[in-house]
Structure 1
Amino acid sequence: MADSAHDAQRIGTREREESISVLGEHFEAGRITAEEYGERTATAGAAVVRGDLTTLFEDLPEPRPSFLRPPLPQAPPPGVVPGSVPVAGLYAPPPMPQYQFSPKSKVAAGVLNIVLPFGIGRFYAGNTGIAVAQLLVTIFTFGVGALWSFIDGIVLIVNGGLDGEGRPLRD
């Protein structure tokens, strides 16, 4: 049960509307009847403090309005890295994640897409779905669709992309 100071906080239109929306989800799921839905939405529309809305959701499972969910855990003290382990009174940072890069090059994929505008760069990177789409668009638009491959090649060179396994292309 929430504390009385929290329940006594005044609410605004956003909280009332979010509560009515979530009640609609419960009604659609069949958790409350049409009569209960009408009563609860009327109560939510007239609510003044959080406690008025808290009672509407006490007997319902998730989802709940975001402002009625439990607060997130407190942040660690300044200078302490989350997930770190105390070592002799000091905190050691957690190990850095190792990112797996693709053996394929973003520059090679981009240049192939520009020079051979039939999705060849996407085939090289392992994105066969996009590659086939670029190939078919280029064929069925009598070459006009090559513009897609050309622009995609520039985007690959500038921003990079992912290979067929979701790994970032290397520089």
Structure 2
Amino acid sequence: MGSEELRIGTAEREEAARLLADHFGMGRITPVEYETRVTDAYAATTLGELRPLFRDLPHPHPGFFGPPPGPMPMPPQQVYAPPSMPLAMPYGPPPVVYSHRSKTVAGVLQIVLPFGVGRFYTGQTGLGIAQLFATFCTGVGVFWPIIDGIMLLVNGGTDAEGRPLRP
């Protein structure tokens, strides 16, 4: 028994009718041809009776006719080449982003209130807590925040995010 003699069911007939409607919607067959082919599709009992209905039509054909055609070849992909980078930066180094906190305020707070208040102001709470304990636990620890305040006034420092303090 060849494949043309295989019996088909309602699902196959409906799939053929649906695909014929798609071909009709695309203008590939006339209304008279569509009506004749759909009537023949619903009357078909074997695969051999359905196959001639699609012989002169391009794909899509019913899936039960056989394996689908191979994948369409992919168009060649265009390779993106980024624009060439200049060897030297034309505008110099990037600008420095300063903190919104001031080195002057931080230094004066460290000197006037010598128990880490300037470091709390800059957002460096760990260092502020260490200076607070050093000041109250040992009498000599009071010099650390004062020296740190002088260093902040002279050299500046950074805030908790690592940005330099405003002059």
Q: TM-score range by the shorter chain?
A: 0.3 to 0.5
- TM-score (normalised: structure 2): 0.46
